[in-house]
Structure 1
Amino acid sequence: MKNTPDYKKIYSDMISIKYPEKKEVCRIFLSKENLSVLDVITINNILFNTNCRESTQFNQKHRSYDVSAISYILQYQKRNELNNSQVAKHFKVSRNTITKWKNQILI
């Protein structure tokens, strides 16, 4: 049994209680059966649109990507013909992380 938080329930409750005005924007993500790591990050950015650099750096240190998210990012890079720096900037990860992923998961 996989012990992961039920992000769909968490965000549904949070939106209905604190952010009912953002319900329509998040409907696409909440209609999915399971939320991916990238979906959770996107919903979090929609709800807590903070542009504070310090909080962004702090939160980035605590992100965790699963294999499906990593493969999506690398496929995005290949599909859009981007270099490591461009992909790293788009997904807010380091260039070294992209290189490490490319070496681990050969796509």
Structure 2
Amino acid sequence: MNLTTKKNILKSKNAPNYKRIYTDILDIKFPEKKGDCEKLLNKLVLSDLDILSLNKMIFGHIPDLNTRQIFRSYSKSSILQILDYQKKHKLNNQELARHFNLSRNSVTKWRRLFLK
């Protein structure tokens, strides 16, 4: 798949342009944090986990994240990255859920769906 095809796929999804959003936020409000975020912003496509990482790097810990957890969704590729993280770091479901601020039930469900 060439670069033009990837860009067309991204545009056709009607997804927000997170690179542009975060670049603008960094330019206007947090220019001192731009260097920390440069590696993620240079990626061709940002995954769900990349977006969460950028958000945490820029704004820090958000204390009321649990109240909005029901509105968060993950793509299959992000779920597989999360499960791969669990395997690499030898975490149980509870530890993984705490690390990514997820429900233990979600982790169990994902393991059942994607690791069989």
TM (normalized to structure 2)? 0.84
Corresponding residue of 1:44: 55
Whether 2:21 is the aligned partner of 1:10: answer yes
Corresponding residue of 2:104: 95
Whether 2:86 is the aligned partner of 1:77: answer yes
Paired residues, what number?
105
How far apart are the structure 2 equivalents of 1:39 and 1:102? Answer: 21
How far apart are the structure 1 equivalents of 2:54 and 2:71? Answer: 16
Report the residue type matching 2:77 in the other structure. S
Q: 2:36 aligns with which of 11, 25, 29?
A: 25
Q: Secondary structure at the match of 2:81?
A: helix
Which of the pair has more CA radius of gyration? 2
Unaligned residue ranges in structure 2 (runs of 5+): 1-11
Unaligned residue ranges in structure 1 (runs of 5+): none
* Structure with bigger RCO (C-alpha 8 Å, 6+ apart): 1
Alpha carbons 2:97, 2:103 under 8 Å: kept: yes
Moved over 6 A (4+): none
Instruction: Output the aligned Cα RMSD.
Output: 1.3
How far apart are the structure 2 equivalents of 1:79 and 1:45? Answer: 22
Q: Which moved more, 1:59-68 or 1:81-90?
A: 59-68
TM (normalized to structure 1)? 0.90
